[in-house]
Amino acid sequence: MPKQRITVKDLLQSDAHGTDVHVKGWVQTKRESKNVAFIALNDGSTVHHLQSVADVAHFGEETLKKVTTGACLGVTGSLVPSQGSGQKVEVQAKEIKVYGTADPDKYPLQPKRHSMEFLREIGHLRPRTRTFGAVLRIRHAMAFAVHKYFNDNNFYYLHTPIITGSDAEGAGEMFRVTTLDARKPPLTDTGEVDYKQDFFGKATNLTVSGQLEGELGALALGNIYTFGPTFRAENSNTARHLAEFWMIEPEMAFYDLEDNMDLAEDFLKYLIRYALDNCTDDLQFLESRLIEEEKNKKQEERSPMPLLEKLRFVVDNKFERLNYTEAVDILVRSKPAQKGQFVYPVKWGTDLQSEHERYLVEKHFKKPVILVNYPKEIKSFYMKQNDDGKTVRAMDVLFPSIGEIIGGSQREEDYEKLLGRVQEMHIPMESIWWYLETRLYGTAPHAGFGLGFERLILFVTGMTNIRDVIPFPRTPQNAEF
């Protein structure tokens, strides 16, 4: 008898009929007739289940009673061509070891369709569902592809700190990191919390972006990228925001905005192509799941293309590139603006809302869009100022059903101009002096961007809520599991 465990994925591809195999996993379903039980087993290696057939007389009612949805089993048996449709091979069980039972009256995951909301409440078990298995495998593949892309293109992976004293984006949406006693913090003469007495001797927070340190790396190593957790205490309870998300931030010396756009487009297309080439089974499963789900939706709420076609469409088409100013013109003249259908008004100088971004992408251009040259007032202090005195060299990449997936810019490399913005925005010198010094010593043109990893996974999987593409989501009022 083989002791070595074989994965369900490898088993299903095997044609070694007649050999004995040993497989372990969790029971998805069991169907029983008078003489045989059909047990569908999944071990997380693939979206497909392995059917194993157990003779009731051989195993006895006692053992088979323990084989219920959720139980963990080891099955040893002979690999045979499958009688039923749906799979090529199945396992004729000879031995069954029950590692763990799951009381059918209590086990929360029944073999039926559960709502995503319910599954969030059982985050400790939802990785065992087919949908989450597929999403988590794709998430892994995308993380691997990110590293592969940059490694193949001679970028260095730079580990930027998670605890910092600066607010890179200047939006003030930070989680404080402190060891001071929250009930009785030491105070200064003026009555403010005295962070000099805190662990780091200064006020610190969880990072909102690795960019500032990333720039230090680029101005020494050339091309770098970061890929790590990022924290934002923005109280936005939307389907696209997390308080803890993962961000990929490449930063390149000697790149201008044009180069930055080229890299962003090539990178996104590479990642999506990687998913199409390497995650076919999971994507096909998610596509059919979506089609099933959309049957209950109104025609106009359905996605215009099935998932795989949508992914191929993005890979095959050049992204539309235009100025913020032109985008505002299009939006102002658009039907929804004329009819007052946008919730937020559009006018030059205001930040675009997701409804506006999605109009441009889904209705107007019908493909991904890169918007550039935004008003400086609505963008961060570090972006390179244009000669018009009004706009900065920012770029946002907008995707169908997502809106903004990438935000980036060419950076201000001129010391005086950067210092001017730092002062205008009242950024304390003690938190930013080191960043400014890179513009005093051997400054260079450079650019970079940030890709929200979960937004990418949302797009690739076709899932609709960002809480369902990260194993354990952190959102306002929620840090369970």
Q: Which of residues 390-409 bind ligand 4AD (CB under 6 A)?
A: 404-409
DSSP secondary structure string for all residues of 321-364: EEEHHHHHHHHHHSHHHHTT--SS---TTSPPPHHHHHIIIIII
Residue 230: C-alpha distances to residues 14, 101, 161, 361, 432 (Å): 42, 39, 10, 27, 19
Instruction: Name the residue nearer to Mg ion (CB basis): 250 or 407.
Output: 407
Instruction: Name the residue nearer to ligand 4AD (CB basis): 37 or 212.
Output: 212
- Shortest spacing between CB 320 and ligand 4AD, in angstroms: 17
Q: Select the residue interacting with ligand 4AD from 141, 247, 272, 346 (CB under 6 A).
A: 247
- Shortest spacing between CB 450 and Mg ion, in angstroms: 8
* Rounded Cα distance, 237 and 8, in Å: 39
Return the exposure string of 300-328: e unless at least 16 CB atoms fall within 10 Å of the residue's CB, then b.
eeebeeebbebbebbeeeebbebebbebb
- Shortest spacing between CB 384 and Mg ion, in angstroms: 16
User: Per CB under 6 A, does 455 bind ligand 4AD?
Assistant: yes
Return the exposure string of 381-407: e unless at least 16 CB atoms fall within 10 Å of the residue's CB, then b.
bbbbbbeeeebbbbbbbbbbebbbbbb
E strands, 33-123, are 36-42, 50-55, 72-81, 89-100
Query: Does residue 65 sit in helix, strand or coil?
Result: helix
* Rounded Cα distance, 76 and 463, in Å: 36
User: Per CB under 6 A, does 217 bind ligand 4AD?
Assistant: no
* Rounded Cα distance, 48 and 41, in Å: 9
* Rounded Cα distance, 226 and 224, in Å: 7
Segment contacting Mg ion (CB under 5 A): 78-86, 113-121, 333-341, 400-408?
400-408
Q: Which does 90 bind (CB under 5 to 8 A by kind): Mg ion, ligand 4AD, none?
A: none
Edge-first strand order for the sheet with 204-206 is 163-164, 204-206, 176-177
Residue 13: C-alpha distances to residues 9, 130, 196, 442 (Å): 7, 19, 62, 57
- Are 17 and 91 within 8 A, CB to CB? no
Instruction: Name the residue nearer to ligand 4AD (CB basis): 25 or 403.
Output: 403
Per-residue contact string for residues 432-451; x = within reach of ligand 4AD by CB under 6 A: ----------------xxx-
Q: Which does 211 bind (CB under 5 to 8 A by kind): ligand 4AD, Mg ion, none?
A: ligand 4AD
Instruction: Name the residue nearer to ligand 4AD (CB basis): 188 or 237.
Output: 237
Instruction: Name the residue nearer to Mg ion (CB basis): 228 or 407.
Output: 407
Segment contacting Mg ion (CB under 5 A): 55-63, 260-268, 348-356, 403-411?
403-411
- Shortest spacing between CB 241 and Mg ion, in angstroms: 12
User: Cα 178 from chain centroid?
Assistant: 28
Q: Select the residue interacting with Mg ion from 77, 407, 448, 452 (CB under 5 A).
A: 407
- Are 127 and 471 within 8 A, CB to CB? yes
- Shortest spacing between CB 240 and ligand 4AD, in angstroms: 6
Segment contacting Mg ion (CB under 5 A): 61-69, 270-278, 404-412, 453-461?
404-412
Instruction: Name the residue nearer to ligand 4AD (CB basis): 351 or 388.
Output: 351
Q: Which of residues 330-369 bind ligand 4AD (CB under 6 A)?
A: none
User: Per CB under 5 A, does 408 bind Mg ion?
Assistant: no
Q: Select the residue interacting with ligand 4AD from 11, 75, 145, 242 (CB under 6 A).
A: 242
Sign of CA pseudo-dihedral 156, 267, 143, 151: negative
- Shortest spacing between CB 308 and ligand 4AD, in angstroms: 23
* Rounded Cα distance, 142 and 138, in Å: 6
Instruction: Name the residue nearer to ligand 4AD (CB basis): 188 or 236.
Output: 236
- Shortest spacing between CB 200 and Mg ion, in angstroms: 28
Q: Which does 39 bind (CB under 5 to 8 A by kind): Mg ion, ligand 4AD, none?
A: none
* Rounded Cα distance, 100 and 94, in Å: 19
Query: Does residue 188 sit in helix, strand or coil?
Result: coil
Kindly list the residues in this chain that would bind ligand 4AD in the complex (CB under 6 A). Answer: 168-169, 209, 211, 232, 234, 241-242, 245, 247, 249, 404-409, 448-450, 452, 454-455
